[in-house]
């Protein structure tokens, strides 16, 4: 069986260092907002090229706290509208709802799966105050054009970079392409913890201060609560693991890109639509997503040929039971994508033999 993602093999590379970090944490017994979190925040801010990084409990909280931070600063008001891609993971939408704001679903570009500027323009109104730009599957969105549109219309631009750690555009890395960015360190991510974790990156000192308050009960000093806050802090032990894994993120991303290029060069089957990729560092291939006409038949074929697969994502947010109030929306591009997509194995620890086996299986379909 060719695994979709072998987390044991990925993390086994760091086993000795993880053990040492864990023992050190036990010895020091400082488990909340200690030196490991500070070290990682500084290292990840430096990696992204931003002035600030604030560790959070998970990626959803990171995105929610950005929005709540702007509300606290008076730059947003409850009820303001926020553009989100219609085909994103539901967390993007939930962050908007949790912050008391209103999501506006925008169709993606059918080739890149990322936000379509053309569709943004068609649905833009003066009530929209924010654009959340998701770098879906690890590919940077149309950041230059969307940034210019946001600037012209005085909109806040936020990156949902949960799947795009280390992706690079001509102007910089994800995390430093907007007013603020949210990351997830869920174990399957390109930079994954051994549990939940997240972070916000920004160059805005006032937003940095607000989120640091919000993530810790609204408190800078213990038992002195300045605002109504939350409990959303990056775990000290997880931060120690992330500090170790950050050093290999670039090489891991390069390995993912190499596998993706091999797939793109070698998979020749008119029944399989391959992803759009220009060969640059703007994609880190959190997922290698293809489209097929008959997904049930294709997935059964992969099962019979011992190739694991996953669907990112089978149900679009506006069709989820949790978001039934949006079920009336007419989003044909999004709905078509969600019926056709399927993700193939890709990870930095895949062997060349496994890659070739996947190619052979797909070419015989």
Domain positions in the chain: 7-246, 249-363
Confidence (pLDDT) at 305: 98
Architecture of domain 249-363: Alpha-Beta Complex (3.90)
Question: Per-residue confidence at 269, pLDDT binned at 50, 70, 90?
Answer: very high
pTM flag (> 0.95): yes
* CA triple 138-139-141, angle to 5 deg: 130
Share of the chain above pLDDT 90, in %: 99
Residue 325 CB-density burial (10 A; 0-12 exposed, 13-18 middle, 19+ buried): exposed
| Spatial CB neighbours of 30, under 8 Å, sequence gap ≥ 6 | 236
* Strand partners of residue 104: 83
Q: Are 4 and 306 in contact (CB under 8 A)?
A: no
Residue 244, pLDDT score:
98
CA distance 112 to 135: 10
Looking at residue 150, what is its pLDDT? Answer: 97
The CATH number corresponding to 7-246 among 2.30.110.10, 3.30.1490.20, 3.40.640.10, 3.40.50.620 equals 3.40.640.10
> Predicted confidence band at 321 (pLDDT cuts at 50, 70, 90)?
very high
Quick: pLDDT tens for 68-104.
999 999 999 999 999 999 999 999 999 999 999 999 9
């Amino acid at each position: 069986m060719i695994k979709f993602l072998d987390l044991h093999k990925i993390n086994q590379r760091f086993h000795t260092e993880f053990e040492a970090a864990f023992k050190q944490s036990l010895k020091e017994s400082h488990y909340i907002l200690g030196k490991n979190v500070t070290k990682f925040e500084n290292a990840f801010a430096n990696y992204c090229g931003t002035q600030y990084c604030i560790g959070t409990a998970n990626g959803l909280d990171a995105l929610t706290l950005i929005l709540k931070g702007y509300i606290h600063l008076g730059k947003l008001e409850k009820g303001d509208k926020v553009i989100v891609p219609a085909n994103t993971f539901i967390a993007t939408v939930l962050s908007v709802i949790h912050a008391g704001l209103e999501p506006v679903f925008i169709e993606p570009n059918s080739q890149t799966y990322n936000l379509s500027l053309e569709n943004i323009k068609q649905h833009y109104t003066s009530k929209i105050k924010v654009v959340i730009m998701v770098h879906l599957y690890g590919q940077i969105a149309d950041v230059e054009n969307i940034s210019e549109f946001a600037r012209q219309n005085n909109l806040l631009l936020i990156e949902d970079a949960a799947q795009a750690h280390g992706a690079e555009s001509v102007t910089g890395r994800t995390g430093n392409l907007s007013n603020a960015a949210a990351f997830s360190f869920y174990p399957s991510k390109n930079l994954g913890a051994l549990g939940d974790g997240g972070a916000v990156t920004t160059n805005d000192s006032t937003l940095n201060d607000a989120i640091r308050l919000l993530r810790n009960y609204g408190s800078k000093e213990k038992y002195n609560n300045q605002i109504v806050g939350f409990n959303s802090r990056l775990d000290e032990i997880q931060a120690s693991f992330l500090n170790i894994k950050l050093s290999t993120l670039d090489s891991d991303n390069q390995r993912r890109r190499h596998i993706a290029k091999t797939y793109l060069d070698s998979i020749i089957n008119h029944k399989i639509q391959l992803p759009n990729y220009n060969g640059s560092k703007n994609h880190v291939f959190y997922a290698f997503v293809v489209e097929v006409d008959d997904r049930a038949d294709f997935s059964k074929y992969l099962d019979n040929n011992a190739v694991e697969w996953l669907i990112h994502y089978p149900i679009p947010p506006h069709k989820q039971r949790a978001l039934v109030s949006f079920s009336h929306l007419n989003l044909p591009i999004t709905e078509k994508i969600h019926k056709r997509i399927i993700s193939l194995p890709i990870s930095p620890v895949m062997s060349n033999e496994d890659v070739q086996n996947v190619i052979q299986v797909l070419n015989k379909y």
